């Protein structure tokens, strides 16, 4: 379908190359209309006239943003929010008390509902692409669990990048230790990866479905020879690579003890640095680490809310960006963040680094770039991440008519600098309308909520009280 977005109060249009430069924000007196033809942006201007084959979208009192791109999530955790045993614990104890206690008992229906809920939360916060680090894999896992993720993304109409996790050993992983989970062999992992690649993975700058090779932990649950096998598989098939790294000091301690080198040096030795690699967290990265990560073109998914919630610290992303690293943003799992809002991450990222380095450390324009264009570049999805002629129409309209925004003189920046709650009036993905007048089109949320009640009951039968 073809659309004409009319009368937007502002359009976040272009971004520059240098981190210190600001995003070019087009105000309503420069451009207010966006024409979408066959899924792509064909014209940006003012006073554009609707054609016969176009559906008009009234964007009065709305700000148009490029669809935000979440580069690290755990959708399964959407049904594990606020588990009491994990509310006041650090990462290691939290892993044992929450995700690894529950996830082996999540069935395909509950996975579908969790993914639908998480994607819906992302969409209503302005995200149109989700990178889900899905690690619900073990020796005898049912393929239906993963299929439920793909189905949920298809039903809701969002882009999904499946970062296929898993472990090949129990090792020093505090979530796996003490449990009854039997990890996959690396041969089994590669075989299953290949099956997923053949069924779901799409190539091209405008792909709706992507597969990423993403062992859950480089240090704690995957042996070095297995990491090399996985890196070789990824690169031979032009797949990106992802994992957790240096979220806490334990990574560095184990790497020094087991391998006699820093965590980042170990990653390099195993073939796990490069422009096709990004890591979530990197909270404990040293200056030496940052220099090596930057030199190899390795990127980060900065997850400030989860890092605060678990008391892990604040990733040194200002130093990383100044060194040339590509900074992107992720919401992480809702079991360690209790939400799946990209605007929450943008707002907190804007604020946190100012508290350490001063108000010059971050600009709202810079943060928008982290959450959109930088992420598109990382993923090789060059058709998205910007509102620009020739780009795919992944566009969200934030409704600024609520009295909460009255008096805000930086209206185009309001979603970022004011933070939650935000209201998305309309969202398009690949030129298809997936949210209209605040309502998500592809799903029945009442049905999902009812299904979740039954899913929680099944989970309690297996695990006990939450």
CA angle 213, 217, 220 (to 5 degrees): 145
Tell me: pLDDT of 162 over 80: yes
- Report residue 202's pLDDT band, with 50, 70 and 90 as the boundaries: very high
3-class SS string, 343-363: HHHHHHHHHHHHHHHCCCCCC
What is the signed CA dihedral for 331, 336, 338, 339, rounded to 10 degrees?
Answer: 10
Q: Tell me, what's the pLDDT at 171?
A: 61
Q: Which residue has the higher pLDDT, 427 or 101?
A: 427
The proportion of the chain whose per-residue pLDDT surpasses 70, expressed as a percent, equals 94
Q: Could you report the per-residue pLDDT of 283-300, keeping only the tens digit for each?
A: 999 999 999 999 999 999
Tell me: pLDDT of 226 over 80: yes
- Report residue 16's pLDDT band, with 50, 70 and 90 as the boundaries: very low
Q: Tell me, what's the pLDDT at 170?
A: 74
Asked, colleague to colleague, whether 2-66+386-440 and 68-379 share their fold, the answer is: no
Q: Could you report the per-residue pLDDT of 235-254, keeping only the tens digit for each?
A: 999 999 999 999 999 999 99
Q: Which residue has the higher pLDDT, 329 or 140?
A: 329
Q: Tell me, what's the pLDDT at 336?
A: 94
Q: Could you report the per-residue pLDDT of 387-405, keeping only the tens digit for each?
A: 999 999 999 999 999 999 9
Helix (H) or strand (E) holding 13: strand 10-14
Tell me: pLDDT of 179 over 80: no
| CA 8/CA 41 separation, integer angstroms | 15
- Region 412-432: mean pLDDT is 97
Q: Where are the domains of the chain?
A: 2-66+386-440, 68-379
Name the CATH architecture for the domain at 2-66+386-440: Roll (2.30)
CB neighbours of residue 80 within 10 Å:
23
Q: Tell me, what's the pLDDT at 177?
A: 54
pTM for the whole thing? 0.95
Q: Which fold has domain 68-379?
A: TIM Barrel (3.20.20)
Q: Write out the two tokens for 208.
A: 């709706």
């Amino acid at each position: 379908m073809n659309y004409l977005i009319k009368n937007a109060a502002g359009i976040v249009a272009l971004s520059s190359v240098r981190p210190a430069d600001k995003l070019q924000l087009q105000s309503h007196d420069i451009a207010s209309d966006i024409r979408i033809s066959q899924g792509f942006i064909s014209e940006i201007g003012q006073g554009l006239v609707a054609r016969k084959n176009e559906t008009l979208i009234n964007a009065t009192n709305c700000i148009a943003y490029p669809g935000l791109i979440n580069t690290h999530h755990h959708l399964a955790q959407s049904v594990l929010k606020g588990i009491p045993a994990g509310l006041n614990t650090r990462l290691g104890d939290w892993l044992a008390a929450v995700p690894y206690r529950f996830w082996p008992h999540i069935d395909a229906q509950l996975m579908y509902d969790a993914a639908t809920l998480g994607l819906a939360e992302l969409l209503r916060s302005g995200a149109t692409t989700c990178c889900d680090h899905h690690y619900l894999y073990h020796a005898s896992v049912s393929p239906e669990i993963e299929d439920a993720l793909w189905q949920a993304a298809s039903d809701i109409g969002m882009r999904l990048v499946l970062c296929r996790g898993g472990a090949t050993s129990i090792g020093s992983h505090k979530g796996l230790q003490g449990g009854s989970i039997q990890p996959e062999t690396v041969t089994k992992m590669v075989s299953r990866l290949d099956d997923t690649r053949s069924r779901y993975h799409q190539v091209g700058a405008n792909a709706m479905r992507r597969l990423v090779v993403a062992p859950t932990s480089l240090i704690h649950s995957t042996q070095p020879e297995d990491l090399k096998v996985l890196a070789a598989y990824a690169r031979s098939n032009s797949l990106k690579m992802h994992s957790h790294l240096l979220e806490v000091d334990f990574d560095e301690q184990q790497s020094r003890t087991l391998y006699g080198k820093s965590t980042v040096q170990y990653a390099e030795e195993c073939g796990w640095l490069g422009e096709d690699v990004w890591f979530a967290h990197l909270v404990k990265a040293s200056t030496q680490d940052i220099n090596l990560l930057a030199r190899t073109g390795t990127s980060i998914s900065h997850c400030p809310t989860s890092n605060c919630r678990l008391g892990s610290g604040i990733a040194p992303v200002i130093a990383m960006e100044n060194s040339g690293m590509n900074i992107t943003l992720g919401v992480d799992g809702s079991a360690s963040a209790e939400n799946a809002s990209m605007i929450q991450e943008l707002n907190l990222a804007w604020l946190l680094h100012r508290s350490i380095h001063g108000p010059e450390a971050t600009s709202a324009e810079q943060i928008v770039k982290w959450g959109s264009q930088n992420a598109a570049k990382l993923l090789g999805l060059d058709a998205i991440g910007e509102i620009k002629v020739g780009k795919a129409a992944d566009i969200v309209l934030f409704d600024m008519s609520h009295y909460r925004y009255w008096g805000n003189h930086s209206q185009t920046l309001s979603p970022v600098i004011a933070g939650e709650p935000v209201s998305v009036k309309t969202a398009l993905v690949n030129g298809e309308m997936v949210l209209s007048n605040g309502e998500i089109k592809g799903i029945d949320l009442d049905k999902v909520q009812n299904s979740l009640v039954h899913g929680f009951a099944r989970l309690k039968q297996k695990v006990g009280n939450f």
